Each structure stands twice: as C-alpha cells, then as structure tokens.
C-alpha cells in the first residue's frame, strides 16, 4: 500500500469510530471540580472561568492560538452587540480581567467598580464583558452610564466604538442596562466555542486543546447544561489515537491554503482572461491589475496582502485624503486614505467555504476610513437603495450594515473542478461577473456614491479615469 492509501484507511477508521460515539453515564471529573472550583463554591467557579476566559482571549498568552480564538469570539458576538470593528489585525488588542472602571468628576473619583473582562484597542474601541452565573446584575447601568474612565483612560479617547456584553445563564434576568447586549452561555457555546474546538483542535498544542475541552465542560457544569450527545472525552481520545494521520492531512491542506491566500488574484485573473472578460495589465507579488473589456466597468485591482482579506476594488476607489488625485492600490504609510471595494474573507469565512461550500462576496465601506467618510458613504448608499436593489443579481442583497453594505453567496462545487481551490476561484469568478464585469449599472451607482462622499467630506471633485 502507498502512504496515501495508509492514511486513507486510517481516516476511514477514524470516521467509523466517530460515527459510533455515544454518551456514557459516567465521565471523568473536570479539573475545576477536582480542585473544588465547583458548584459548591460558586464565586470561586466564576473567578476560575473568568481568568481562563481572559487567558484564551489574550493573543499574547502562550496557548498557541495567537489571536484566533479572540477573533472567533468577536466575530461570533450576537448581532445586538453591534460590533463592527475590523478583526483581521488584532495585534494592538489588550485583554484584561477585573479591570477597574471609575466615574471621575473634575479629576476626582466619585465611584468605581471592576468589570469582569475588557477587550480593547486603546484609543480606538473597547468591549466590556460582564460574566454572570448566579448573582443578580447590579453594575451594568453604572458601567455604561456613569463610568468615565477605563483603567484610568477616558472613555472619550475611544474614537471608533463602545460595546457592552452581558454573558449569563439562560434562566437569569437580562442586564439592567438596555445598552448591554445579552448573550447566554449556551449561545456562546453553540455559536463560538464548540465549533471552534472541533474545527481547530488539530492545529493547536495538545495541552491547549485539552484545556479548551475542559473550559466547555466547566461552563456546562456551572450553568447546569445537559451534556452533549457526543462525549467529549471519547472525541479527545479519538483525536489522540489518530493524531499522525490528522496532522499530516491537515498540514497538507494548510500548506495549500496558505499558497492560495497569495495566488488567488492570479488564478482569478487568468480564469477571467480565458473566459474573454478582459486582460491582465500588470502583476506583482501581491497585486494584479485587471482591465475589464467594458470601459464603463474599468480597471480593477485584485489584492492579496492579507491571509484573510481578499480585496477587489476599482482603480480610483482608493485615494490619499491629502491629495485626492493620488489613486492608490496599497495602504499609504500615514494611513490617510479613503476607500471602498469588494472583498472575500479567506480566513474569517474559511469554515463556510470548507464545510458549507459557500463563498460570500461583500461590498465594504472600509472600517479604517474616517468616520465622517463612512457616514457619508452610508448616507449616499441608502439614498440609492431602490436603484441598487434593481441592479443586484439574485445572489446578492443589501445587509443594513454600515461596513459590509452588500453581500452575495455562491456555491463552491469541488466535484465540478480539479480540486477545492479551483472550485473556490470558479465561485469567485461568478461573483465578479455578477457584481462587476457584467453589471456596469451597479458599478456606476457605486462610482457616484464614492465621488459624492469625497466631495461631501473632503470638499474635492474627483472623476473616474477611463481604462488605459
């Protein structure tokens, strides 16, 4: 047998054993229970969970997940939280537990308290999280309404956003303050933690994987949730038994995925060229400039400088705000820019692509824009809602979100192509044709929105140059 056949047989064994797993009546005690942070000592249990939660969320801790669990947590927040910050680059995020919040008047502290978790990018945005298992809420109104400083920093220093989350048991009352978004522990497990463990366990250190399973078990124990149908312990054992095969096929896929995050622009441009939609005008390590056959649609940049954000934007939709005649296709050093464009999220939406075989293509009002420009684009976009709806293909719709204004979904069908990645590019090609190449009406509307927003905010008249 070849090595590939050996791996295939072992994976088939893994699949059969996984399908046969059933819940068992007795399971080993969790670490929290062994060290008596259990239901008999509720406050200690809350402190235990709080500190472990902060540890997993903090990219600087040595758990080996970097910012991936934090990103999954932020991307999984309930819609009511209204969280709209970019989560690709989380290098500046600070995560702390038991952070002091104060109400200061004329430099004097009038009152104070400690919020369970704080996630923030200093001077940009913050998320305050209050964790509850048994005690009633007494602090959220103070945290949101009266607090003026977070760990000594004025709230007014945070220019992008302020977000509040109340994480509690399903049978407990909601937060006292209506601005706190309510999320149950069950919702957190279902929306974030369980899927995160299943999808990512092969990629992380064994100790971290075991700790994540323990974390989920302890939350279920404290909150009185019923045990999952599939026993966690047997799944861990199954993972360990087949570690070599899982690691090998995972590493192979990861290598191919990493390569794809850099070469998708060329693959897309070549496919579009072969279909007669235009031609490649220039190409570099991270960028492809593609000239569409219709001058009304113009030239487009396909940009792969990120392992997550796959950018597609028209030449002229990215400009330097200090000189709006300066058309960009990369971020200036001073970050003074204004841009709109389409994108697909390779890392953030990877589970949807691999598991659900679905590609989502977005039109985005970029989060790094000046807030005044973001607002102007949204206002002009809403004014043209009827015309936009008329121009959209059946796969796309307006979202109501201020950042990702449009979204469109396309099936990824590996059986119809050489491999998964070819199928991904084919889905991307369908989206580009629907929304860009074969849709000059939509592009003209978006051109007008960008031009008018620039005029409103920067008092400058610009025009879109014809393809050259």
The predicted-structure confidence for 97-120, as pLDDT tens digits, reads as follows 999 999 998 888 889 899 999 999
Please give the helix or strand (H or E) that residue 52 lies within, else none. helix 42-57
Q: What is the pLDDT of residues 324-348, one digit of tens each?
A: 998 999 988 888 999 999 999 998 8
The per-residue pLDDT for 179 is 87
| Strands of 122-265, DSSP E | 125-131, 149-150, 153-154, 161-168, 181-184
Low-confidence stretches of the chain (pLDDT beneath 70): 1-8, 10-11, 13-45, 171, 225-233, 466-468
The per-residue pLDDT for 233 is 67
The per-residue pLDDT for 102 is 92
**Euclidean distance between CA atoms 139 and 331, whole angstroms:** 42
**Euclidean distance between CA atoms 390 and 388, whole angstroms:** 5
**Euclidean distance between CA atoms 180 and 269, whole angstroms:** 45
The per-residue pLDDT for 1 is 54
Please give the helix or strand (H or E) that residue 269 lies within, else none. helix 243-274
User: For 149-152, which contacts have Cβ atoms below 8 Å and span 24 or more sequence positions?
Assistant: 149/101, 149/102, 149/103, 149/104, 150/99, 150/101, 150/118, 150/120, 150/126, 151/96, 151/99, 151/100, 151/101, 151/118, 152/100, 152/102
Please give the helix or strand (H or E) that residue 460 lies within, else none. none
Lookup: tokens for 270: 């070549």
pTM score above 0.85: no
The per-residue pLDDT for 42 is 56
**Pairing mode, strands 278-283 and 323-327:** unpaired
Which of 166, 153, 78, 165 has its CA nearest to residue 121? Answer: 153
The per-residue pLDDT for 265 is 97
């Amino acid at each position: 047998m070849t090595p590939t056949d050996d791996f295939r047989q072992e994976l088939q064994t893994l699949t059969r054993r996984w399908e046969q797993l059933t819940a068992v009546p007795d399971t080993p005690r969790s670490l929290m229970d062994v060290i008596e942070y259990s239901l008999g000592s509720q406050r200690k249990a809350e402190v235990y969970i709080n500190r472990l939660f902060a540890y997993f969320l903090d990219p600087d801790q040595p758990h080996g997940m970097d910012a991936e669990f934090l990103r999954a947590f932020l991307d999984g927040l309930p819609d009511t939280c209204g969280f709209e910050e970019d989560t690709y680059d989380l290098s500046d995020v600070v995560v702390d537990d038991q952070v002091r919040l104060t109400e200061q008047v004329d430099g004097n502290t009038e009152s104070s308290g400690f919020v369970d978790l704080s996630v923030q990018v200093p001077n940009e945005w913050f998320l305050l999280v209050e964790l509850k298992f048994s005690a009633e809420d007494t602090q959220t109104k103070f945290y949101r309404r009266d607090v003026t400083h977070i760990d000594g920093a004025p709230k007014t220093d945070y220019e992008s956003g302020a977000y509040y989350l109340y994480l509690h048991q399903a049978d407990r009352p909601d937060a006292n303050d209506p601005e706190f978004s309510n999320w149950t522990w069950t919702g957190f497990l279902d929306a974030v933690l369980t899927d995160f463990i299943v999808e990512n366990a092969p990629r992380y250190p064994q100790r971290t994987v075991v700790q994540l399973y323990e974390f989920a078990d302890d939350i279920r124990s404290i909150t009185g949730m019923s045990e999952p149908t599939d026993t966690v312990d047997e799944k861990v054992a199954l993972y360990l038994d087949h570690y070599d095969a899982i690691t090998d096929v995972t590493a192979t896929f990861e290598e191919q995925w990493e390569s794809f995050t850099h070469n998708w622009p060329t693959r897309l441009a070549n496919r579009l060229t072969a279909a007669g939609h235009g031609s490649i005008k220039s190409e570099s390590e991270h960028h492809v400039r593609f000239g569409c056959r219709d001058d009304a649609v113009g030239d487009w940049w396909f940009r792969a400088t990120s392992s997550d954000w796959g950018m597609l934007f028209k030449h002229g939709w990215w400009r330097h705000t200090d000189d709006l005649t300066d058309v960009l296709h990369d971020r200036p050093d001073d970050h003074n820019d204004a841009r709109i464009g389409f994108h697909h999220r390779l890392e953030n939406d990877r589970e949807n692509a691999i598991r659900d075989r679905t590609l989502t293509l977005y039109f985005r009002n970029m989060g790094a824009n000046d807030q005044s420009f973001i607002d102007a684009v949204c206002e002009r976009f809403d004014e043209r809602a009827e015309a936009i709806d008329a121009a959209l293909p059946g796969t796309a719709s307006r979202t109501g979100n201020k950042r990702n204004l449009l979204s469109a979904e396309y099936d990824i069908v590996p059986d119809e192509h050489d491999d998964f990645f070819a199928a991904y590019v084919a889905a991307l090609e369908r989206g580009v044709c629907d929304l860009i190449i074969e849709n000059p009406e939509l592009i003209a509307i978006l051109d007008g929105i960008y031009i008018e927003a620039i005029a409103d905010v920067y008092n400058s008249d610009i025009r879109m140059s014809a393809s050259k």
